Amino acid sequence: MENKDDILEVRNLTINFKTYAGKVQAIRDISFDLKKGETLAIVGESGSGKSVTTRSIMGLNAPNAEIAGGSIKFKDEEILDKNEKQLSKLRGKSIAEIFQDPMTSLDPTMKVGKQVAEPLRIHQGMSKEKAMEKALEIMKLVGITNAKERINDYPYQFSGGMRQRIVIAIALVNYPQVLIADEPTTALDVTIQAKILHLMKELQTKINTSIIFITHDLGVVAGMADRVAVMYAGKIVEYGTVDEIFYNAKHPYTWGLLGSMPTLDTDADVLPSIPGTPPDLLEPPVGDAFAARNKYALKIDTLKQPPFFKVSNTHYAATWLLDDRAPKVTPPADIVKRQEHFKATHNN
Partner 1 sequence: MLEENAPKILEVEGLKQYFNVGKADEVKAVDDISFDVYKGETFGLVGESGSGKTTTGRAISHLYEPTAGKIIFDGKDVSKLRHKAQKQQFRSDIQTIFQDPYASLNPRMKVEDIVAEGIDINHLAKDKEDRKHQVEDLLETVGLNKEHANRYPHEFSGGQRQRIGIARALAVKPKFIIADEPISALDVSIQAQVVNLLKDLQKKRKLTYLFIAHDLSMVKYISDRIGVMHYGRMLEIADADELYANPLHDYTRSLLSAVPVPDPEYERSRQAFDYDASKEDDGKNRKLVEIAPRHYVRASEDEIDMYKQRLKK
Binding site for partner 1 (CB under 8 A): 45-46, 160, 189-195, 197-198, 216-223, 242-243, 246-247, 256-258, 260-264, 266-267, 270-275, 277
Rounded-to-integer distance, Cα 244 and Cα 146, Å: 43
Question: Minimal distance in Å, beta carbon 318 to partner 1?
Answer: 18
Question: What does each C-alpha distance from 119 to 86, 139, 173, 205, 310 come to in angstroms?
Answer: 15, 14, 7, 21, 42
In terms of CB distance, is 35 or 216 closer to partner 1?
216
The conformation of residue 144, written as its DSSP 8-state character, comes to: -
Question: Minimal distance in Å, beta carbon 139 to partner 1?
Answer: 21
Question: Minimal distance in Å, beta carbon 70 to partner 1?
Answer: 26
Question: What does each C-alpha distance from 316 to 38, 240, 248 come to in angstroms?
Answer: 18, 6, 11
In terms of CB distance, is 172 or 274 closer to partner 1?
274
Rounded-to-integer distance, Cα 214 and Cα 40, Å: 9
Question: Minimal distance in Å, beta carbon 84 to partner 1?
Answer: 33
| Amino acid in the structure at residue 77 | E
In terms of CB distance, is 239 or 246 closer to partner 1?
246
Question: What does each C-alpha distance from 309 to 27, 325, 340 come to in angstroms?
Answer: 20, 13, 21
Would you call 153 helix, strand, or coil by DSSP?
coil
In terms of CB distance, is 80 or 222 closer to partner 1?
222
In terms of CB distance, is 113 or 256 closer to partner 1?
256
In terms of CB distance, is 238 or 243 closer to partner 1?
243
Q: Are 227 and 241 in contact (CB under 8 A)?
A: yes
Question: Minimal distance in Å, beta carbon 288 to partner 1?
Answer: 16
Q: Which residue in 106, 123, 126 sits closest to 115, CA to CA?
A: 106
Rounded-to-integer distance, Cα 62 and Cα 56, Å: 9
